[in-house]
């Protein structure tokens, strides 16, 4: 990591640790993301390769962070709306000038399992297992800022059919980060067993137009080899099942 990159992330907690979040302020600015403008030719060339390999990809518009600061539990960011193709190119190099920030609603069953989804083969994260979630987009912007809870509610409902209003939410958010990717998460405890929740999700998949989810799993340990986990899941599993919460 260069000195410039270190300054870009000055004051951040160590990578892979879970920390409490006391305040979230994620502004979305007008105009184009500087990384998008700087890398436009490379973005287009990479997108052509990505679509050739996976024609199901869709170049939607998403909230892509430019600056993020994490200090004393306060997470602040400045983002722009950018094409998904720009994010995919950035993700290959994790270049300075960009951050990926997303939110997990950590769904817990009445018998203590963490309920996650497995992504379908045609998605940008094929086979990966993580909490039902998606990058923030224009529908998640309220008064020029990201509505984190609104994003979580929408994504969980779309992907699983579960309504976060049916859960008891634990107070406060937590965060973790790895390789310029920031995860904000909150614990939601549902009144149903893991078996019941998986059954509900499977029934939803039969009638849903959402085709990005390949199935749901009940996680009962921090074993990193139990599933093909997204890297963002590992610190959360270690924290939750390791008894540190």
DSSP-derived 3-state class of residue 2: coil
Mean pLDDT of 86-108: 96
Residue 106: which residues within 8 A CB-CB, separation 6 or more? 114, 131, 185, 186, 187, 188, 236, 240
Over residues 29-51, the mean pLDDT reads 98
DSSP, residue by residue, 53-91: H-TT----EEEEEEEEEEETTEEEEEEEEEEHHHHHHHH
Which are the contacts of 210, defined by CB distance < 8 A and separation ≥ 6?
158, 159
Q: What band does 209 get if pLDDT is binned at 50, 70 and 90?
A: confident
pTM (two decimals): 0.94
Which pLDDT score, from 0 to 100, does residue 187 have?
98
pLDDT digits (tens, 9 = 90+) for 105-163: 999 999 999 999 999 999 999 999 999 999 999 999 999 999 999 999 999 999 999 99
CB 85 within 8 A of CB 61: no
């Amino acid at each position: 990591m260069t000195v410039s990159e270190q300054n870009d992330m000055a004051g951040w907690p160590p990578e892979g640790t879970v920390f409490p979040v006391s305040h979230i302020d994620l502004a979305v600015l007008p105009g184009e993301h500087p990384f998008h403008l700087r890398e436009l030719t490379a973005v287009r060339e990479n997108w052509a390769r990505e679509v050739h390999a996976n024609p199901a990809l869709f170049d939607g518009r998403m909230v892509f962070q430019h600056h993020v600061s994490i200090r004393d539990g306060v997470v602040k960011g400045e983002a722009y709306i950018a094409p998904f193709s720009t994010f995919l190119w950035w993700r290959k190099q994790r270049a300075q000038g960009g951050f990926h920030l997303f939110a997990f609603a950590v769904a817990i069953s009445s018998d203590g399992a963490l309920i996650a989804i497995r992504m379908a083969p045609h998605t940008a994260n094929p086979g990966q297992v993580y909490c039902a979630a998606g990058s923030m987009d224009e529908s998640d912007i309220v008064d020029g800022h990201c509505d984190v809870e609104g994003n979580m509610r929408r994504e969980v409902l779309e992907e699983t059919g579960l309504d976060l209003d049916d859960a008891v939410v634990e107070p406060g958010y937590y965060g973790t980060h790895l390789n310029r990717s920031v995860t904000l998460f909150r614990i939601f405890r549902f009144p149903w067993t893991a078996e019941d929740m998986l059954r509900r999700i499977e029934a939803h998949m039969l009638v849903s137009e959402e085709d990005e989810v390949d199935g749901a799993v009940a996680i009962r340990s921090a074993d990193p080899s139990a599933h093909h986990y997204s890297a963002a899941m590992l610190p959360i599993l270690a924290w939750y099942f390791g008894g540190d919460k």
